[in-house]
A and B are shown apart, each in its own frame.
Chain A
Amino acid sequence: MAYVLLRHRDIPNFDRLDVYKKNGGFAAWKKAVTKMEPAEVTNIVKDSGLRGRGGAGFPTGMKWSFIDKNNWPHYVVANADESEPGTFKDREIMESNPFQFLEGVALGSYAVGANVAYVYLRGEFWQLAAFLDQKIADMEKAGYLGDNLFGTEYSLKIYTHLGAGAYICGEETALLESLEGKRGQPRVRPPFPPAYGLYGKPTIINNVETFANVPMILANGADWYKSLGTMDSAGVKVFSLSGRVRKPGNYELPFGTTFRQLIYEHAGGVQEGRPVKAIMPAGASSSLIVVDDKVLDTPMDYATVRTLGADLGSASVIVLDDTVDIDWVINKTIHFFKHESCGKCTPCREGNYWMKHLTSRIHSGTGSKDDVDLLLNVAKQMQNKCLCALGEFSTMAVVTGIERFPQDFKKAVKA
């Protein structure tokens, strides 16, 4: 099957504007601006069943329709912060298929009436930002961005903005704060960005991959898109696969592909042919799934993965084989979350600090059974109480690790 998002894998030099254009690029863009009402664009995206690829899987068209039409100007922001451990799909899309992504941002902007869009990239994507700046300049030169596009009233500018090393800036309101030149700390929600976003104005924020889908949906229609994937989760997804597999990397597959197909058919199986012990389907924020044959044969879509006691999230699948100790895994994840907790709210700031002490002690073999119990208790005490989801994320591997892999913790602690 031809690629939908990773089309550069099919077509050489796809990051060149002429090549992109020759392969149908910007046709949707031109048609939208010259022949369609903004609401039509939103409706097609709504009908396609596209759900956000940033993690929460929120229906994209519905989000666009929430934009407050009584308060102007509107902004669009592409979330290119991509900092979840195990996630590296947005980077490939932007590096190799930049125009499709930018065309998606443009279409989103048109749909919600924004004249300015920002691409917020994590600071480490320094070179990528410069590359995108060039691509934006190419589009301006070709008349795809700028004032009075295609001779209409509509104007659009896209700017890149670099973060500077903070996972929390992937959270949409923290991202907005950061873009406003402040510390990247989440805001209280509601109000949500479509009502109160950048500079307090209605703003639509979507993930890079979400945007990259839009030109294809407009070109091929909502029904085409719906025909891919499952009832619950339409279309295709780029799965970032990492950990103990033979061929880690990005795999674009329709929703509904099983874990087994991903790991064994596409990625060549586990290193040294060992068995899969656990899967983290959503990066470090993930619950740990105990893997057996049934799990491996589970189709990956948002609803079905939930039946395994985990969220699919951004579909950054980390594979753990039987050589990996879960106490080590949670020590790693807590190290990450303690480092990335923004410090704004008490349970996350203090809880991660506390959990780090406990996981280090347990992993280093100086902990006791009481420490494991306390760790589980502290994690649960954090749950449902934090200001943003990061605090919740930090507890997922801890709670599911201790509850689902008790033997690893018996082994780890002193008698």
Chain B
Amino acid sequence: MSKQVTLTINDRQVTVPDGTLVADAAKMAGIDIPVFCHHPKLEPVGMCRMCLVEIGRPMLDRTSGQVVMENGQPKIQFMPKLETACTNRVSEGMVVMTVSDKAKDGQKGTVEFLLTSHPLDCPVCDKGGECPLQNLTMQFGPGKSRFIYDEKLHLEKQVPLGELIWLDRERCIQCARCIRFQDEVAGEAVLGFDDRGRNTQIVSLSDPGFDSVFSGNTTDICPVGALTTADFRFGARPWELDAEASICTQCPVGCNTTLNTRREARTNGDIVVKRVMPRQNEEVNEIWLCDKGRFAHHYTESRKRLTRPLTRKEGKLGRASWDAATKLAAENFVSAKKNFVVLASGRLANEDLFNLKSLADHAGGSAVLYSDMGGGELTQLVGVGAGTNIGKMGAGDAILVVASDLYEEAPIWWLRVKQAADRGATLIVANPRETKLDRFAKYTIRYAYGDEGKTINDFSRKSKIADEFAKAKNAIIFYGSEGLGLNGSSTLASACATLLKETDHVGRPNNGLIGVWQRANDQGAWEVGFRPVPDLEKALKGKAVYIAGADPVGDDPNLAKALKGAKFVAVQDILETATTEIADVVFPAQAFTEREGTYISGERRVQRFYAAVPPKGDSKPDFSITSQVAKQMGVILEGSSASVVFDILANSIDGMAELSYAKLAEVRGQWPIVGRGDLYYGGTTYENTQGLGVQLLPMAQAGGAVRIPKVRKEAALRPKEKELIAVPVNKLYDRGVTIHPAQLLNDRVGEAMVSLHPATAKKMGLTAGGRIKISFDGVSGEALLKTDDTISTGVALVPRSMGLAIREPVTARVLSAGKVK
């Protein structure tokens, strides 16, 4: 533990770690010092002058260096000037007075100065009700304005900084929190001040404006109503909102969120989610969220939501009762015997996946994970140790990111890894092309697509990088599926696990393997026993298929063909998809906002989410639907209580026996303290009162033997002349069903695109920005051409879920769209 220091704040003795800022020390002791520019996650700047206090220090004798005593007490020498609590660090014997007349006078003065330029338009301000300036004005503000109202500065009030964030120039108090967040935390300095003095104003010159996937966070830490989200502004008053804890479903980070809901006239009095706010979990997302997590939730309100069970009669889908629909499915599943296949994705909760897996097991069918990425059994074996917190990694530690573009795939991991690098951790980024993480890496390794496993295996040979990785106190590897299908990613996972084992980086906190999965709960699916299969088409053809939380028909024409050849298809989902269109039975499922359940993050943290809004129509939670189908098949599965399903699940899975909903709901005190009444301190992030979750012990930590199976790598592709190798890459804003319906993000989604090396494009007579036609694996489609000179000349990058179906590297032909008939 670091050295502790004892000081006195307002006659209270306080003991805090050495180096703590006075403002934070007061906070720890429950004493509020008002602040605006200070934020516990940002470097101190002392610019707003709100936190003025009196600070005294024990007087030292000039010659002896000893503390001067007076009446048996150390003599305290006060500075003649007030000092900022946010920039001064505590020292032994310090005396701080935060509410003396002099200190209050200073604080009052600052509020008055801030208000001279403030428009005082609180009645029409979005921040009203949760505004630090409003609250502090109540506490410290003058009763009467001495500044002549007519002399107030008038500035633009509705400035879109990008399509997501709006700025009100009059309300800005120049605390620079937003600028500093973007620069220090996000590492994307796309906000800045223009001009100076009283003309100082926020600007963003990036193209597109405010070009950062972390932009929403600035609205949480803005201490006034200057920055608001396009999504929420003028949407509701904070005091009308209810709050319910949830987990973000967009990626495997598992950010803790709070859903703010309200009954809405616009939607016929339905209760809807008005906004998604971060909920503090210092080990997961701290107090941040990415914009996808904040804004994409609208898909749950899509007009394409399924609300009634449907069955196919005379070739057409029509309404049916739950009983009839589940019965029809059950009959077909029973008669299929071992030709019964459950195909489910990591979009589902653990409870859902567990019931589905149980059903498949009881019925003698198979349970297939809808995913192109392998290695989940290895993350169970050598995943990061329980107690892992990337936020505590720094100098002496190492992080290797391979075959993943974390910025696009798991933004909050990107941010935390970047900050670990800022703190001195050795960051190694291995990827065939340049990614945004490269800028913070100590080493970047470029390999050719296909050489992933080899690149990691080479680590066992002597090299400076390998050496540094091996010697690191702690080391984590993030591996992903860039350029890889199931086989390639399994091979890579195996190589990574071997490296971790050989360098003794397993079985401890902050050590181990993390899969950058494509869906939020893929890890959970692996834990309950779902596995992807190498040849999905074959696995589906001619079978009775029960699809949950996946749209194979919409994703891939080859799978569509396979499913058309299926014997029977039942689909359960929250939205109409291309797959529900071909289904024999459709079950309407509830969105995660409407029910409770658990997910397991990539760091293997089991986390609870709660019901925030009422379900749509007749929809049911997935696990209930499955239980009903099971019942019709003569199998009894728990279907009414998610927590009971979880208890059964926990009892039947190694290492989870201790877990329960109650356990997952436990909280501990966290630092910094946020989300209490004093919103000026941490911003509007919610305090975590509903559960920090529990991280699972990997087998390596639980004492199990670490035996890593070798994966045989498939033979390399041999493109013919004029052919390229098309490789899949992952994009943050894709056209997937959990994003596309969110209107606000449409501008950033863009259209299907393919990237080539500029030389390749040139050789083929193609120009960036033009349209091309690409065909592979029996699929063909049009796309926009981009060039990227950091990739090799023989490949074409094809983003997943952007309209071109790609599951693994394939040989492809690319032509100008004009040349194709």
In-complex A–B contact (CB below 8 Å): yes
From known contacts A357-B148, A374-B146, A385-B106, infer whether A352 and B197 are also in contact, taking CB-CB under 8 Å.
yes
Cβ proximity bits B135-178 to A, threshold 8 Å, 1 near / 0 not: 00000000000111001010000000000000000000110000
A346-B198 in contact given A384-B80, A385-B82, A385-B106 (Cβ < 8 Å): no
Q: Is the CB of A346 within 8 A of B48?
A: yes
Name the segment of A66-74, A89-97, A311-319, A335-343 touching the other chain: A335-343
B499 at the binding interface (Cβ < 8 Å): no
Q: Which residues of A contact B146 (CB under 8 A)?
A: 374
Which residues 338-369 of A sit at the B interface, judged by CB distance below 8 A? 338-347, 349-354, 357
Residue among B44, B49, B84, B87 with the most chain A CB within 10 A?
B49
Query: Helix, strand, loop or mixed for chain A's interface?
Result: helix
Q: Give chain B interface residues in 611-635, CB to chain A under 8 Å.
A: none
- Which chain B residues numbered 342 to 369 have a C-beta less than 8 Å away from chain A? none
Q: Is B775 an interface residue (CB 8 A)?
A: no
B200 at the binding interface (Cβ < 8 Å): yes
Is there contact, CB below 8 Å, between B47 and A345? yes
Assess whether A349 is in contact with B110, with CB atoms less than 8 Å apart: no
Say yes or no: A346 contacts B47, CB within 8 Å. yes
**Nearest opposing residue in chain B for A357, CB measure:** B151
Q: Mark A46-80, 1 if CB is under 8 A from B, else 0.
A: 00000000000000000000000000000000000
Closest to A354 in B: B116
B114 is an interface residue with CB less than 8 A from chain A: yes
| B197, A386: Cβ atoms closer than 8 Å | no
Decide if B50 is an interface residue (CB 8 Å cutoff). Answer: yes
B234 within 8 A of partner (CB): no
Chain A contact patch, size range: 20 to 34
State in angstroms the CA–CA spacing of A215 and B447 once bound together: 59
A343 to B202, CA, bound (A): 12
Nearest CB in chain A: distance from B178 CB, A: 15
Residue of A nearest to B173 (CB): A346
Chain B residue nearest to A339 (CB atoms) is B197
Minimum Cβ distance to chain B for residue A256 (Å)? 29
Q: Cβ of B109 and Cβ of A166 under 8 Å apart?
A: no
In the docked arrangement, what's the CA distance between A188 and B116, Å? 25
Q: Contact check, B147 vs A354: say whether CB atoms are below 8 A apart.
A: yes
Q: Is B671 part of the binding interface, using a Cβ–Cβ cutoff of 8 Å?
A: no
Chain B residues with Cβ below 8 Å from A346 are 47-50, 110, 113-114, 173-174
Residue-wise interface mask of B (180-215) relative to A, using a CB-CB cutoff of 8 A (1 in contact, 0 not): 000000000000010111111000000000000000
Name the residue on A nearest B112 (C-beta): A381
The reply to whether the CB of A183 lies closer than 8 angstroms to some CB of chain B is yes
Bound Cα distance from A342 to B110, whole angstroms:
17
- Report how far A183 CA is from B82 CA in the complex, Å: 26
- The answer, yes or no, to whether A303 is at the interface (CB within 8 Å) is no
Determine if B117 and A385 form an interchain contact, defined as CB atoms under 8 angstroms apart.
Answer: no
Tell me the bound Cα distance from A382 to B48 in angstroms: 13
- Contacts A343-B174, A346-B113, A385-B52 hold; do A166 and B196 have CB atoms under 8 A apart? yes
B86-130 residues with Cβ-Cβ distance < 8 A to A are: 87, 106, 109-110, 112-114, 116-117
Q: How far apart sit A343 and B195, CA to CA, in the bound complex (Å)?
A: 9
CB–CB B198/A349 < 8 A = yes
Contact A349 B197, CB 8 Å, known A354-B147, A385-B110: yes
Return B468 CB to nearest CB of chain A, in Å: 24
Contact for B113 among A166, A342, A351, A384, CB less than 8 A: A351
Cα A351 to Cα B50 in complex, Å, equals: 14
Interface assignment of A387: CB less than 8 Å from any CB of chain B = yes
Q: Give Cα A183 to B196, complex, Å.
A: 9
Contacting residues, chain B, for A347 (C-beta < 8 A): 49, 109-110, 113
- Contact A343/B198 with A353-B117, A381-B112 known, Cβ cut-off 8 Å: yes
Q: How far is the CA of A346 from the CA of B84 in the complex (A)?
A: 13
Q: Does B81 contact A (CB under 8 A)?
A: yes
B28 on the interface (CB 8 Å rule)? no
Min C-beta distance of B569 to chain A, whole Å: 61
Chain B contributes a number of interface residues (CB within 8 A of A) equal to: 35
Q: Which of A155-193 contact B (CB under 8 A)?
A: 166, 183, 188
| Minimal beta-carbon separation of B176 from chain A (angstroms) | 8
Instruction: Determine the chain B residues whose CB is within 8 A of the CB of A349 once the complex forms.
Output: 113, 174, 197-198, 200
Give the residue name and chain of the A residue nearest to B106 (CB): A385
Nearest CB of A to B423, in Å: 16
Residues of B within 8 A of A374 (CB): 146
**What's the nearest-Cβ distance from chain B to residue A363, in Å?**
15
Question: Please, which residue of chain A has its CB at the minimum distance from the CB of B111?
Answer: A346
Is B46 in the interface zone, CB < 8 Å from A?
Answer: yes
Is B466 in the interface zone, CB < 8 Å from A? no
Residue of chain B at shortest CB distance from A350:
B113
Contact A345 B197 (CB under 8 A): no
B87 with A188: CB separation less than 8 A: yes
Q: A347 vs B195: C-alpha distance in the bound complex, in angstroms?
A: 18
- B196-A345 in contact (CB<8A): no
- Docked-complex contact B109 and A387, CB < 8 angstroms: no
Whole-angstrom distance from the CB of A182 to the nearest CB of chain B?
A: 10
Cα distance, A258 to B48, chains bound together (Å): 42
**Can you name the residue of chain B whose Cβ is closest to the Cβ of A356?**
B198
Q: How far is the CB of A273 from chain B (nearest CB, A)?
A: 40
- Shortest C-beta distance, A293 to chain B (Å), equals 33
Contact of B665 with A by CB under 8 A: no
Contact assessment for B44 and A350 in the assembled complex, using a CB-CB cutoff below 8 Å: no
Once A347-B49, A387-B47 are accepted as A-B contacts, the answer to whether A342 and B114 lie under 8 Å apart by CB is no
Q: Which of chain A's residues have a CB closer than 8 A to the CB of B147?
A: 354
Contacts of B114 in A (CB 8 A): 346, 350
Q: CA separation between A339 and B200, bound complex, in Å? A: 11
Within 8 Å CB of B112, what residues of A?
A: 381
Within the complex, the shortest CB–CB distance from A390 to chain B, in Å, comes to 10
Q: Closest residue to A166 on the B side, CB-wise?
A: B196
Residues of A close to B106: CB separation below 8 A:
385
Q: Is the CB of A183 within 8 A of B49?
A: no
Q: Which residues, 10 to 46 on B, are CB-close (under 8 Å) to A?
A: 44-46
Q: Is the CB of B197 within 8 A of A342?
A: yes
Closest to B50 in A: A346
Neighbouring A residues of B148 by C-beta, 8 Å: 357
Given A188-B45, A346-B47, A386-B49, are A341 and B116 also a contact pair (CB < 8 Å)? Answer: no
By the criterion CB–CB under 8 Å, are B49 and A353 in contact? no
Q: Once the chains are docked, how many angstroms separate the CA of A350 from the CA of B49?
A: 12
Q: How far is the CB of B228 from chain A (nearest CB, A)?
A: 22
**Closest chain A CB from B295 CB (angstroms):** 31
Residues of B within 8 A of A387 (CB): 46-47, 49
- A338–B44 CB distance below 8 A: no
Interchain CB contact under 8 A, B52 and A341 = no
Give the docked Cα–Cα distance between A16 and B321 (Å).
Answer: 102
Closest to A338 in B: B197
Residue of A whose beta carbon sits closest to that of B45: A188
Q: Can you name the residue of chain B whose Cβ is closest to the Cβ of A341? A: B197
| Residues of chain B at the chain A interface (Cβ within 8 Å) | 44-50, 52, 80-82, 84, 87, 106, 109-110, 112-114, 116-117, 146-148, 151, 153, 173-174, 193, 195-200
15 CB-based A-B contacts, threshold 8 Å: A166-B196, A188-B87, A338-B197, A342-B197, A346-B47, A346-B50, A346-B173, A346-B174, A349-B113, A349-B174, A354-B113, A374-B146, A385-B49, A385-B82, A387-B49
New A-B contacts (7) at CB < 8 Å, excluding given A339-B197, A350-B116 = A183-B193, A188-B46, A343-B174, A343-B195, A346-B114, A349-B198, A384-B82
| A-B complex: 9 closest residue pairs judged by Cβ atoms | A343-B200, A350-B113, A353-B198, A341-B197, A384-B81, A381-B109, A188-B46, A343-B197, A343-B196
